[in-house]
Structure 1
Amino acid sequence: MERTHHKQEINITETLINRINELISYYPEDKRKSALLPVLHEVQDAHDNWLSIELMDKVAEIIQIKPIEVYEVVSFYTMYNQRPIGKYMFEFCQTSPCCLNGVEDLMDYTCEKLGIKVGEPTADGLFEVRGVECLGACGYAPMMQLGDFYKEHLTKEKVDQLIEDCKDGKIVLLDK
């Protein structure tokens, strides 16, 4: 599989450095690495919701750890993005309760409706569909996460409405 290297402008502002230092201060000096997850969240939020290799290297430098330690974390957790993603990320839960309730068909339907495959953004950068592990809402299956919000008991009609609401600007993602 060929990997595309996306360029990203790195903008580590004074405000961001202050926030990173605050997060690091919560841990003993010899445990700076413990701040990695919250630091990655802050840095990703400040950089269009994704982390380039160069940005991960910068995080490693700031926290004073090896770059591979950052790469391992970023590549393990689905909440960190290694490339530009769609503005509206439809993250469908793919564990057993959701699968038993038709989430795979809903993912296929959503991709067909948007003209994309799972894991690729629409040409306009507005949407992306991703399958994720358990979102902890099994009683509401099938479900997905959209930004910081759960969308539950999904149907094709509800997916259609979500897509329209996103297009119309009715879905507001929280700025962090």
Structure 2
Amino acid sequence: MLARLVANRLLEIRQIFRQPLSSRSFSTALNYHIDSPDNNPEQPWEFTDVNKEKAKEILSHYPSNYKQSAVIPLLDLAQQQHGGWLTVSAMNAVAKIIEVAPIRVYEVATFYSMFNRSKVGKYHLLVCGTTPCMIRGSREIEDALLKHLGVKRNEVTKDGLFSVGEMECMGCCVNAPMITVADYSSGSKGYTYNYYEDVTPKRVVEIVEMLRKGEKLPPGTQNPLRIKSGPEGGNTTLLSEPKPPPCRDLDAC
């Protein structure tokens, strides 16, 4: 059964690459780059003076013979500076700084979903799509955002303010469902990346409108009956400081 599925998939890939580029579907074709006026290797790109200093500080965390280990934080800094996405020339600039072949940087940027290879909104909204959030209504959260903004997943609104994507587990399953807002509205200087937890379809629309007005709302749980990840309405057990086990002297550790 597995061998048949693999064979069928390989056949699909061969058929895709027999087609002209203009007719290939991005949903089925393998990831590849096509030069465009705002994304090509001839386009000049470099870090700003402020970010050059940040890049030096990032590199200082690594031995000089292992500077390639700084690829992820440097790509993150480049993405912040470039409004939330990475061009080929930005990746080439990072490759030059860490002295590796550009393909080594492309490999990282195309592997991790945190790096965007196409334009996103100034506020990039990411909906957690993993099982706990899905059980708690993440699909309804995404539908509410897409309907309110009038876009499809990974599209940018006409005013350039918002885009909606999906991310796998954000690690706050106890506060499901949740979204992340990557705020590129002020470049790398004012960049924030905040979690908004215990959201509802109504609440995510309110969050969008607050962001549109430039209002800064507190991240974390959006359920007023919860404190962080505590139970709704407060604790019913463990109401005092836990006692240490009688068989162990913790102060002697």
The offset of 1:75, in angstroms, is 1.1
Runs of 4+ in 1 over 4 A off after TM superposition: none
The offset of 1:4, in angstroms, is 7.0
The alpha-carbon distance between structure 1 residues 126 and 140, as it changes in their structure 2 partners (threshold 3 A), is: same
Does the 8 Å contact 1:89/1:129 carry over to 2? yes
Higher helix share: 1
Quote the residue 1:5 is aligned against: 36
Distance in 2, matches of 1:58 and 1:111, equals 34
Distance in 2, matches of 1:4 and 1:115, equals 28
Which residues of 2 match residues 85-164 of structure 1 at below 5 A? 85-147=120-182, 148-164=193-209
Distance in 2, matches of 1:169 and 1:115, equals 20
Q: Which amino acid aligns with 1:7?
A: D
SS across alignment from 2:163 = strand
Distance in 2, matches of 1:4 and 1:166, equals 33
Please give the per-residue CA displacement for 1:25-60, whole angstroms capped at 9, x wherever unaligned: 221222111111111122222222221001101110
Distance in 1, matches of 2:151 and 2:181, equals 17
Please give the per-residue CA displacement for 1:125-175, whole angstroms capped at 9, x wherever unaligned: 111111101111101111111132211111121012112111211137xxx
Distance in 2, matches of 1:6 and 1:127, equals 22
Match of 1:63 among 98, 107, 110: 98
Does the 8 Å contact 1:51/1:81 carry over to 2? yes
Please give the per-residue CA displacement for 1:67-113, whole angstroms capped at 9, x wherever unaligned: 11111111111222222210111111110000001101221221011
Which residues of 2 match residues 11-30 of structure 1 at below 5 A? 11-30=46-65
The offset of 1:123, in angstroms, is 1.0
CA RMSD of aligned residues (A): 1.9
Name which one, 1 or 2, has greater alpha-carbon Rg. Answer: 2
- TM-score, normalised with respect to structure 1: 0.89
SS across alignment from 1:42 = helix
Relative contact order (alpha carbons < 8 A, sep ≥ 6): 1 or 2 greater?
Answer: 1
Which residues of 2 match residues 66-85 of structure 1 at below 5 A? 66-85=101-120
The alpha-carbon distance between structure 1 residues 19 and 47, as it changes in their structure 2 partners (threshold 3 A), is: same
Q: Which amino acid aligns with 1:133?
A: E
Distance in 1, matches of 2:87 and 2:55, equals 18
Q: Which amino acid aligns with 1:25?
A: S
The offset of 1:6, in angstroms, is 5.6
Distance in 2, matches of 1:6 and 1:107, equals 31
Q: Which amino acid aligns with 1:158?
A: R
SS across alignment from 2:38 = coil
- TM-score, normalised with respect to structure 2: 0.63
Q: Decide which moves more: 162-171 or 63-72.
A: 162-171
